[in-house]
A and B are shown apart, each in its own frame.
Chain A
């Protein structure tokens, strides 16, 4: 919650101010789309530690944070990227090596948990997951839940329908609300007060923002407030939810940002090769994350030519005919 002040900051300052060691974090986007990658890389450069991360299917944003050693606990639905690149290798490896604690939910359950957080209710009901191990097997122990005031005592609960079978449901699954300390999203357009216009799919970004105590918005363009207010029905997030606005062109790179640029198949296939090998992954981090001072420097390594290749076509919103093999 924040008032009508100008909130434009540098990315370094925004991360330094709002992402603290041990905080509970969520990031926007979905698999290959609109992950706030510039912010993710900056969190890694600032060597933030012990983050508790909430994710539905945030793809490589979460995977890099795990690879960079920033996350110690994750509640997640899906650690993968579809067929675009066989990534989220660091997520899988961190679990196999017992480096992080994890709790599994489904995508709908995670989305509903953010929604409950945004609504201000303790839990929300769904009919998803009855009879599955998502209900039966807990990643966080009861003791851990009982002693951590920032965690609900239970992962999930089943309730007999108190309305006597109304709508044909005998039972429902209850999932607990999430209220992150900080949510970071990347959008196409925002004004300096934080009002946002998301183009293309919005995934669960809006609830993630509204459920969160603090919010950093990174954006392709900072636009004039009057421009956004001519069509208010196209703005999904009003400024009151936003703490900081950061202008970061290509802020989702190497992922796509609808109507601006596509995902970069070349970078992604390279990065997934590195991620498979601990030594190569270290080299990758040194070169592309720790070895650059900011996102702009990463983009200069990638080069203008490659950025032109992934530039979005005006008609389709993606790079038509891009070689994605």
Chain B
């Protein structure tokens, strides 16, 4: 069965979500991935939002984390203090997986969503952290959505908004952060994981028809490709769920 790139990326992300995970969601493809996981491989996962809505019913796709569609049928509608406390508090926080996006990611999974160029006088200004820095600081596992382009995978970030593994193994702990960090970077060409020892990014999956070399050509830094395998395409049933249940109006996909 034919599928689009966005559908493939969604399914690749959904597969990283485990049953029982509390999934911190942003908007767009991250929300679709979390909804897909709930319908496909992690029926007992719980979706929650930085605005304070937890386990929302999500009959329609929210276009923002403050969309009234996240408020409908939620277990609780509270506020920002409560939602971030849920992640900072180790009792609940250890069960949270975050899904983030950014303008730049480096080889240790640190993210920039603030600016390109000098901070005070940037060439391009982005929205800023929002809750991304908080999530990346607190939770043990994070998924990152990126487009594979050289300038988006730089050797050095223009601004470090959200912490990954900082400058390598043990750096989070030295900085005083909680253990944890990004576990996967999902792009339009493949999926990267992080080495257990060095905390450096490596290529885990390339999509059908994509060469590892092409992926390397779209990054400023180099990564290990020796462990890379071809990604398994989405199953017909998975695509049906995406198209008929998760995003029938094609708002995101």
Contact = CB atoms under 8 A, between A and B. Distances in A.
Partners in one complex: yes
Contacts of A318: 60, 67-69, 72
Contacts of B69: 316, 318
Contact of A104 (B68, B72, B128, B138): B128
Nearest to A319: B68
Interface of A is mostly: loop
Interface string A200-237: 11111111000000000000000000000000000000
Given A82-B64, A107-B84, A95 B122 contact: yes
Contacts of B172: 131
A319 B62 CA distance: 12
A105 B132 CA distance: 11
Contact of A96 (B59, B66, B122, B175): B122
B64 A83 contact: yes
Interface residues of B, number: 65
Contacts of B71: 200-201, 258, 317
B163 A130 contact: yes
B166 interface: yes
Contacts of B166: 131
Interface in A36-83: 56-57, 59, 76-83
A267 to B, nearest CB: 14
A88 B63 CA distance: 15
Among B65, B176, B250, residue most surrounded by chain A Cβ atoms (within 10 Å): B176
Contacts of B51: 30, 33, 201, 203
Contacts, number: 216
Nearest to B74: A201
A257 B124 CA distance: 32
A111 B137 contact: no
Given A77-B130, A107-B134, A112-B81, A324 B63 contact: yes
Given A96-B123, A107-B129, A258-B68, A201 B134 contact: no
A301 B79 CA distance: 34
A263 B206 CA distance: 40
B219 interface: no
Contacts of B77: 200-202
A192 interface: no
Nearest to A110: B80
Interface SS of B by simple majority: loop
Given A83-B63, A325-B249, A316 B72 contact: yes
A308 B71 CA distance: 21
Nearest to B165: A131
A105 B129 contact: yes
B5 interface: no
Contact of A29 (B66, B120, B133): B66
B59 A82 contact: no
Interface residues of A, number: 70
Contacts of A33: 51, 64, 66-68
A263 B163 CA distance: 33
Contacts of B28: 82-83
B116 to A, nearest CB: 10
A197 to B, nearest CB: 13
B88 A256 contact: no
A262 B176 contact: no
Contacts of A158: 176
B75 interface: no
A298 B208 CA distance: 52
A129 interface: yes
Nearest to B171: A131
Contacts of A95: 115, 122, 125
Contacts of A258: 68, 71
Interface stretch (A2-10, A133-141, A146-154, A179-187): A133-141
A270 interface: no
A130 B79 contact: no
A98 interface: yes
Interface string A92-127: 100110100000111111011001000000000011
Given A128-B138, A201-B52, A134 B119 contact: no
B134 A130 contact: no
A320 interface: yes
Interface in B65-100: 65-72, 77-81, 84, 88, 90
Given A132-B163, A203-B66, A204-B79, A77 B138 contact: no
A56 B172 CA distance: 25
Contacts of B147: none
Nearest to B177: A130
6 contacts: A56-B80, A127-B138, A133-B160, A169-B176, A204-B79, A263-B67
Given A83-B27, A256-B68, 18 more contacts: A31-B65, A59-B66, A77-B130, A82-B63, A82-B67, A96-B124, A107-B130, A108-B80, A108-B131, A115-B81, A128-B133, A129-B133, A134-B129, A171-B175, A202-B78, A203-B79, A205-B79, A316-B69
Which 5 pairs show the lowest CB-CB distances between chains A and B?
A82-B64, A171-B176, A78-B130, A80-B127, A131-B175
